C-alpha cells in the first residue's frame, strides 16, 4: 500500500509522526511525505497529521483524485481529523485488515461570472463564506435559489455550508448541525441587520446565486478559509461539485460519537 503523509512542519517533526511512519512500514507500506510540489495522485491513502485546517489543506491537493483521507488530530477540536494520537496503532491495524468505513462528503463548487465574462471555479468541503471587506458597514447579498428570489441579506456576511461544514464556521454564528449524507446545505447569515433573518436548510441539488452590494464596491469570499477579494460586478453561483471527498472512519467513530465527544454533550460541568 502506498501512503502519503500531509502535515505542518511541526507535526511532521513530531514524535507522533515518527511513530506513525514506523507503524506503517511495519505493515509493509510505502510511505512518503507530501512536500507541496510533487504530485500526490499516485497513492492509495492520504493521512493528514494536524487539525481540521491541515485536513482541508490535504483536501485542496487531492480532493478530486478519489483518494481516501484519514485525519489524525494533532490539534484541539478536530471534527475531520478525529483520530487521537493514542489511537494510531489500533487505527493502523484496522486499516490493514480492512476494518474501516469510507464516508463520502459533499463538496461545494463556486463559479464567478464577471463583467468581462471571466469564469473561474473554486471548491470547498466545509463552506463558502461571503464577507464584508472592511469593518465599517455591512453588505447586501441578493440571494436566489434555483432562479427564485429568496431574500436580500443585509449582514456582515453569509455562509453556505455543507453538512461537513455545518459544525465549523456556520455553527459558530448560529447555523444548524446537519448530519452527513443528508443531501442538504445551509445558508446562515453572519451578524444580520434584522433579527428575523434565520438560517435555512436547502436541498443540495440546486444552485444558489449571490449578487453583492458593498459601500467599498469590493467584498471577500472565503472557500474553506482561503480568502479572495471580489468586485461588486461579480455574480457568484454555488452548487454541489461533481465529486466527493472520501473520509476514512473507524466503525466506532460515527457522526454522533464525534458530536458527543467533541462538543461534550452530556458532560456535567458543575462542581
DSSP state of 156: S
Question: Phi and psi for 106 in degrees, rounded to 5?
Answer: -65, 145
DSSP string, 35-90: -SSS---S-SEEEEEESHHHHHHHHHHHGGGT--EEEEE-SSS-SSS-B-GGGHHH
- The grid coordinates of residue 153 equal 441579506
Alpha-carbon distance 240 to 163, whole Å? 12
Positive or negative CA dihedral for 105, 161, 185, 148?
negative
Evaluate whether 51 touches 78 at the Cβ level (below 8 Å).
yes
Alpha-carbon distance 250 to 91, whole Å? 7
Selected catalytic residue, list 35, 42, 52, 268: 52
Q: Which residues of 234-244 are buried (b: 16+ CB within 10 A; e: fewer)?
A: bbbbbbbbeeb
Alpha-carbon distance 185 to 106, whole Å? 9
Q: 157: exposed, middle or buried (C-beta count within 10 Å: 0-12, 13-18, 19+)?
A: buried
Alpha-carbon distance 236 to 111, whole Å? 6
Whether 134 is catalytic is no
Question: Which residues are known to be catalytic?
Answer: 52
Amino acid at each position: 500500500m502506498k501512503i502519503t503523509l500531509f502535515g505542518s512542519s511541526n507535526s511532521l517533526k513530531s514524535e507522533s509522526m515518527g511513530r506513525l511512519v514506523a507503524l506503517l512500514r511495519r505493515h509493509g507500506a510505502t510511505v512518503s511525505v507530501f512536500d507541496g510540489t510533487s504530485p500526490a495522485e499516485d497513492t492509495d491513502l492520504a493521512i493528514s497529521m494536524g487539525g481540521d485546517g491541515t485536513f482541508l489543506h490535504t483536501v485542496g491537493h487531492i480532493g478530486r483524485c478519489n483518494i481516501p483521507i484519514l485525519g489524525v488530530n494533532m490539534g484541539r477540536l478536530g471534527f475531520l481529523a478525529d483520530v487521537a494520537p493514542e489511537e494510531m496503532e489500533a487505527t493502523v491495524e484496522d486499516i490493514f485488515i480492512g476494518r474501516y468505513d469510507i464516508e463520502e462528503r459533499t463538496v461545494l463548487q463556486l463559479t464567478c461570472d464577471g463583467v468581462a465574462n471571466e469564469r473561474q471555479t473554486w471548491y470547498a468541503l466545509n463552506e463558502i463564506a461571503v464577507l464584508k471587506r472592511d469593518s465599517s458597514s455591512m453588505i447586501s447579498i441578493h440571494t436566489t435559489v434555483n432562479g427564485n428570489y429568496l431574500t436580500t441579506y443585509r449582514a456582515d456576511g453569509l455562509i453556505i455550508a455543507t453538512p461537513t461544514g455545518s459544525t465549523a464556521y456556520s455553527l459558530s454564528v448560529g447555523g444548524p448541525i446537519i448530519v452527513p449524507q443528508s443531501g442538504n446545505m445551509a445558508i446562515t447569515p453572519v451578524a444580520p441587520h434584522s433579527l428575523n433573518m434565520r438560517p435555512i436548510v436547502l436541498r443540495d441539488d440546486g444552485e444558489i446565486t449571490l449578487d453583492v452590494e458593498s459601500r467599498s464596491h469590493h467584498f471577500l469570499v472565503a472557500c474553506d478559509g482561503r480568502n479572495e477579494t471580489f468586485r461588486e460586478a461579480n455574480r457568484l453561483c454555488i452548487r454541489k461539485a461533481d465529486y466527493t471527498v472520501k473520509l476514512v472512519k473507524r466503525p466506532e467513530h460515527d457522526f454522533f460519537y464525534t458530536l458527543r465527544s467533541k462538543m461534550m454533550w452530556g458532560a456535567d460541568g458543575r462542581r
